A and B are shown apart, each in its own frame.
Chain A
């Protein structure tokens, strides 16, 4: 099947408006006759479910957690971008569009990104109307801060809990519709298959995680807002339950999977402390507004710091290497994530890591304390030369901005970041790849949509900070509710979809067979055993730097591990009860397939772009080297086994942006 991205004709700035005018609508009376399934209740799924229900559709929403409010969007810290230009610093829709395309290393679709930038301002209006308590200045207006890869302040925030506040906003909009009966909410349910009837997505098979019951749910369209697949790496900043299962089942039913190798490794996470570790914790990128990243200049100081004979605070300024400021003077500590992560790896690989494992760099707020403190002392008419007083005043300001992050760091690491610099290291955080969608956010399966992180569309090969929240809400509130109507306009006479059909029978039988196999497998190793081994392969061979040899090994090793998993995995308990090991096993089984496709995609992409860095393709200065012949989206078609997946290419055209070397120097 040829890929048709369905990008509307006409000038870039008019495409979305024109498209909205051209597409079909469903009249209010007919919307009542149409059911939509939304899987996932994060920013994308939650906002979509609420909006579709407001429009009048009957929505059936699903999440695996005990409440829609728990979705992992809640953990997003730093903020949400919007081209409001409240700061008057030259921001505009075009600039947000430009920054996003450049930040994504020219591997995203122009038309989608422009639409995202266009609707971004409306998101802020919408959220304020919903009662989302964004940070404000003393005049009562909204405050902004800066994020990596941009030269303006366009990020709106609510301390270090922006994701929480936005998700609770979407959750409240859902609650209003659940209360009205327009959304039927299914919590503690996991989607285990998509049902395709006459070539169209017409329902799902879900497992009730409390009772173990397998359920059939039908609808006229199915929307997946099920997030990313970073947990393939085992250790990541994702929630423990985040998984690829819904997306992978959709892939197996015909949805092409795009750019699986584009993974974001976030530069500022708390370093790994030991083998028992179950997850990694992010320290928001917003900290790079005020924190400076460094390692010692001399290896002897590194040694002294590691053995405890030297404290980082004692090291003189001239003996520190603020390597981001040195290498990238224009953007300094606010270079994009992929660049910052690779730079940290480069220093640590060269032996300058500052903790015992050699995998940590400093994020230091000492100069921010003094800078803010001096300002405060001046405002309050106090002695600006009293260093202790100035530091204390400055710490108060920093506490107001990032208090919860500092507290979180202290609880985990047991060090006070007001007294000593934080230690950070990159960790898997987000996946830019995902299910391929057209301009309408429809997958290659008619009636099956993917929104938010679950799709591939807006971030190219690298996502800029504070853009995930923007995309999730843009898709759910403002894009999908329009585009899905165009498809559903043909369904007004269809009537309710029956679950009593051979397609539902077949899908349910498949699900039951897999579950039976897992539960009755008399293996000897736990699910986590396999998940950890997969994570090690992914991190070591498909991580921050990749090469042909490693990727080929990864493909073989993952396939072998998958085989071993099905022979040796052991699940205690039964299928007809709450059984977390069984749920985990199903998810890891899918990660074991996705992981192989991931490595295969990385192998085929013989260039470096954004989060995908191939050792073979770099400039003499060690920067990523893009190649013109790879200016396409890789969309993989499922053909039985990951090794047999077929590559389809969507060529990327840049008509409004000049593709040039991505420089932050």
Chain B
């Protein structure tokens, strides 16, 4: 099939950037979206032009590195996939496809479609852990039975890949889904209880300091999340935050 790509090109953080149009011919429906961009880049290199820079690594939907806005949707039109798993069979001959980076104050553009998501790491530094030394001198793993439902719910929250689609999809650029996924994982497990108060207060503080917006319950984040992280996590974090604030 033949396509028209309209891609955000921005040389570096200081550049203003603009949309540039590229025609694409003979695209196979079995290609992944990133493989289609590989073909474009190969053409650009052959012509002596600079290829489109985009983040990607595992290309199997788990590392969370790939991050692009395709036709106004984070990771493109298919649901429950990252853009590396999006396949061209989701498009049809003659389509025009707009490709842009995540847009959020807290995610400045580095080049073209690549943004700086280190704010996510800094939120994790503030409390995304259980303070246990890795000496191995802990108790036997089976000494604390954990209700299967709680363990499974904690796992579901823990599957967040930190891609930032939630922030990019939110009209407020809120990181609540991301932060609440980590807060929930630990809040649901007995191991996480000891530091629960400090964890939620510190992580939310850091989230605010990074310039992410607040949550107004529109739910776009959940819809666009490639891992289906549930909005219930935000509700749980709000409860945790409220009770932590009283304990102070």
Q: Which residues of A contact B (CB under 8 A)?
A: 47, 50-51, 54, 65-72, 74-75, 84, 86, 119, 122-131, 133-142, 158-159, 161, 164-165, 168, 171-173, 175-176, 178-179, 185, 187, 210, 237, 239-241, 273-274, 276-279, 281-282, 407-408, 411-412, 414, 477-478, 526, 528, 570, 572-573, 577-578, 580-581
Contact = CB atoms under 8 A, between A and B. Distances in A.
Given A75-B60, A239-B58, A54 B158 contact: no
Nearest to A126: B136
Contacts of A136: 145-146, 148, 151-152
26 contacts: A47-B134, A51-B135, A66-B117, A70-B63, A70-B65, A74-B63, A125-B138, A125-B139, A127-B141, A129-B130, A131-B185, A133-B154, A133-B185, A140-B151, A168-B158, A172-B128, A175-B128, A176-B129, A276-B28, A278-B38, A278-B59, A282-B60, A411-B81, A411-B87, A526-B45, A572-B48
B216 interface: no
B110 A210 contact: yes
Contacts of A240: 56-59
B192 to A, nearest CB: 6
B133 A578 contact: no
Contact of B87 (A141, A171, A407, A414): A414
Nearest to B191: A131
Interface in B30-71: 30-32, 34-36, 38-39, 42, 44-46, 48-51, 53, 55-65
Contacts, number: 216
Nearest to B133: A54
A251 B6 CA distance: 45
Contacts of A570: 45
B189 A175 contact: no
A578 B110 contact: yes
Given A136-B151, A278-B32, 5 more contacts: A128-B138, A133-B189, A172-B130, A179-B125, A408-B60
Contacts of A411: 61, 78, 81, 85, 87
A570 B42 CA distance: 11
A293 B154 CA distance: 34
B114 interface: yes
B61 A278 contact: no
Given A65-B57, A276-B35, A572-B51, A129 B129 contact: no
B36 to A, nearest CB: 8
Contacts of B110: 210, 578
A274 B28 contact: yes
A137 B134 contact: no
Contacts of A67: 117-118, 120-121, 162
Given A125-B141, A578-B110, A72 B53 contact: no
Interface residues of B, number: 80
B33 to A, nearest CB: 11
A572 B50 contact: yes
B159 interface: yes
B241 interface: no
Nearest to A580: B53
Given A133-B189, A175-B128, A125 B42 contact: no
Nearest to B126: A179
Nearest to A211: B12
Interface in B107-151: 110-111, 114, 116-118, 120-121, 124-126, 128-136, 138-142, 144-148, 151
A134 B144 CA distance: 13
Given A161-B159, A581-B51, A572 B45 contact: yes
A65 B31 contact: no
A408 B85 contact: yes
A311 B8 CA distance: 45
Contacts of A210: 110
B12 A130 contact: no
B57 A70 contact: yes
B92 interface: no
A64 to B, nearest CB: 9
Contacts of B102: none
A175 B12 contact: no
Contacts of A54: 133-135
A172 B144 CA distance: 21
Contact of B129 (A47, A72, A175): A175
